[in-house]
Amino acid sequence: MSYDLIVIGGGPAGYVGAIRAAQLGKRVVCVERDRMGGTCLNWGCIPTKALLKNGEVYNTMAKKAAEYGISVGELSVDWPAVIARSRQISERLSNGISFLFKKNKVDSVVGEARIVASGKVEVTAADGSVSMLEGANILIATGARTREVPAFPFNGNTIIGSKDALVMPKRPDSMIVIGSGAIGTELSYVYHCFGTKVTLVEALPRILPNEDNEVCTAMERAFKKQGITCMAGAKVDSLRDNGDSVTATITAKNGKVQEITADVCLVAIGVVPVVPEANGLELTERGFIKVDERYRTNISGVYAVGDCIGGIMLAHTASYEAEQAVEGMFDCEYTPLHPVHVPGCTYCHPQVASVGKRERELQEAGVEYRVGKFPFMAIGKAVATGETEGFVKLLFGKENGELLGAHIVGDTATEMIATPELAMNSELTDADMNAMIYAHPTLSEAIHEAVLAADGRAIHA
């Protein structure tokens, strides 16, 4: 059967691209080697958020119930039920994608895809059977996988990756986490909530190193207050598997060498691209697929989007790129857009969200700017809900007042970041943002106060 588009990969890039092409009236097939939804839905974004919610509920009942006037008896955790809930949610949403495919008349095939020529994809099923798909266009959306360190190979028991951490049959009493990006930070928080003693190790000078410096400092302070041991600027020299535990030799930033033993070590130092077999496909030095401004590869009729092409490796970026590539693929007059202002979110507690420039970037570039910062502790809704930790920090151009960056640490930071992102995309100034009326009482009032603070006139400071 011949298709207008063959999509390889059923994650946030692949299934979105497939559905968009179908909406344009095209005949589409999507090839996925595992379950629809890719890593994000099955082993990343979604199951981790389910576990985070479980952890937050338990943590609130265990440590803050009295603050809300609630008395509880002895708390206990059914760990297999905790894990089962996250898996059930992933399965439900994966089935939802299959429903959307049927609704939009998108065909789906399970198997390993190989591009044998322009317009031809060979699919090998789990039973070894091989089928051939033909199509005018091919969209590679194969994503990325957990990066392994050769010196610290995963064994699924004492040295694990994020996928293993989501299905551990027994909660460990202690855990070392190497890497404090979003994955390492979120899973550190999840396991800490349920009572695991967590040591978070980061080679760079700050945890969550991609965030604004003040955000990094605030999160390290929050984690230490909660009881998570943070070792920033530290290097893991070696890991020794003891059978039922693991021992890490770590050089701290002061040069002191120490050994830490834990039940499990989670290695969360990033991801590497997954690239399907395709003769002649051009890659970058780091192994990502090379694409042009229209997301075309060097093979005629073959496009690529999402984590496999590098850039800002986030699920929402991948979906955005997929829509843009498909629009341009079937309309030669359409100019595909590329991500510019992309929000980044970390769903620990307090949450972290940011968009645009960090303060250190503006300083390095010699850009003159004004800072507006406002704490949640001065916001009525935050005080009423007992979530006063964190702040909103906005960076405005000094001359014209354009919003250059936004950084939020707080209870619903990941929801609030949409407002400054919209402001940046719409090229709003501080005057425009101040002209808005912010509902009271809401946490979003902190955005308004931060706008005012940039001009030295916050009302509730």
Catalytic positions, written as ranges: 440
50 and 86 Cβ atoms separated by less than 8 Å: yes
3-state helix, strand, coil in the chain (%, to 5): 35, 30, 40
Max CA separation in the chain (angstroms)? 69
The backbone torsions φ and ψ at residue 445, rounded to the nearest 5 degrees and listed phi first, read -60, -25
Alpha-helix runs per DSSP H in 125-239 = 162-165, 182-193, 213-226
Q: Residue 175: phi, psi to the nearest 5?
A: -150, 135
| Cα(113)–Cα(355) distance, integer angstroms | 35
Residues 156, 246: Cα–Cα separation, whole Å: 12
Phi, psi of 36 (to 5 degrees): -60, 140
Q: How many residues does the chain have?
A: 461
DSSP state of 107: E
Number of other residues whose CB lies within 10 A of the CB of residue 35: 19
Interior angle at CA 228, CA 224 and CA 232, nearest 5? 75
Q: Which residues contact 278 (CB under 8 A, 6 or more apart)?
A: 114, 115, 140, 299, 302
Distance, C-alpha 434 to centroid of its chain: 30
